[in-house]
Amino acid sequence: MPDYIAAVDIGGTNLRLALAQTDLPPIRSIIARSTTSTVGIKDPQLIVNQIHAGITSLLQENNIPKSALKAIAAGAPGITNTDTGVVIVTSYLLGWRDVPLRDLLQNSFHIPAAVDNDGKLAALGEAWAGAGQSSPDFVFLAIGTGVSAGIILNGQLHRGSTFAAGEIGYMLLPSLPDTPAPRGKPGALEASLGGEGLKALWQSQWSESATTLPRDLHATEIFDRALPDNANPADPLAQSLLAHAAKMLASTIYNISLILNVPLFVLGGSVGVHPALIDATAALLVSWGTRVQPRLLPSTLGTDAQLFGALRLAQQKASNQ
Amino acid sequence: MPDYIAAVDIGGTNLRLALAQTDLPPIRSIIARSTTSTVGIKDPQLIVNQIHAGITSLLQENNIPKSALKAIAAGAPGITNTDTGVVIVTSYLLGWRDVPLRDLLQNSFHIPAAVDNDGKLAALGEAWAGAGQSSPDFVFLAIGTGVSAGIILNGQLHRGSTFAAGEIGYMLLPSLPDTPAPRGKPGALEASLGGEGLKALWQSQWSESATTLPRDLHATEIFDRALPDNANPADPLAQSLLAHAAKMLASTIYNISLILNVPLFVLGGSVGVHPALIDATAALLVSWGTRVQPRLLPSTLGTDAQLFGALRLAQQKASNQ
In contact, B62 and B19? CB cutoff 8 Å: yes
Residues B191 and B195: their CA atoms lie apart, in Å, by 8
Kindly tell me if the per-residue pLDDT of B180 is higher than 80.
yes
B260: chain A residues, CB-CB within 8 Å = 151, 158, 160, 165, 259
Task: Go through A247-265 and write b for each residue having 16 or more CB atoms within 10 A of its CB, e for each that does not.
Answer: bbbbbbbbbbbbbbbbbbb
Kindly tell me if the per-residue pLDDT of B93 is higher than 90.
no
User: Do A259 and B172 make contact, defined as CB atoms within 8 angstroms?
Assistant: no
Kindly tell me if the per-residue pLDDT of B91 is higher than 80.
no
User: Do A168 and B258 make contact, defined as CB atoms within 8 angstroms?
Assistant: yes
Mean pLDDT by 10 residues, chain A (321 residues): 95 91 91 93 95 98 97 95 95 86 98 96 96 97 93 96 94 94 86 95 96 95 94 94 98 97 96 97 92 90 94 93 64
Measure in Å the smallest separation between the Cα of B254 and chain A Cα atoms: 8
CA dihedral A35, A194, A90, A12 (to 10 degrees): -20
> What sign results for the dihedral spanned by CA atoms A152, A255, B305, B111?
positive
pLDDT tens digit string along B181-236? 887 788 999 999 999 999 999 999 999 999 999 999 999 999 999 999 888 899 99
User: Do B289 and A183 make contact, defined as CB atoms within 8 angstroms?
Assistant: yes
Kindly tell me if the per-residue pLDDT of B291 is higher than 70.
no
Residues B223 and B198: their CA atoms lie apart, in Å, by 10
Q: What pLDDT, on a 0 to 100 scale, did the predictor assign at position A182?
A: 83
Question: Average of pLDDT values for B149-172?
Answer: 96
Residues B141 and B251: their CA atoms lie apart, in Å, by 13
> What is the percent of chain B with per-residue pLDDT over 90, rounded to a whole number?
86
Kindly tell me if the per-residue pLDDT of B12 is higher than 80.
no
**Helices A236-260/B236-260 angle, 10° precision:** 90
User: Do A261 and B160 make contact, defined as CB atoms within 8 angstroms?
Assistant: yes
Question: Average of pLDDT values for B267-291?
Answer: 93
Residues B189 and B171: their CA atoms lie apart, in Å, by 6
Question: Average of pLDDT values for B89-98?
Answer: 85
pLDDT tens digit string along B229-270? 888 899 999 999 999 999 999 999 999 999 999 999 999 999
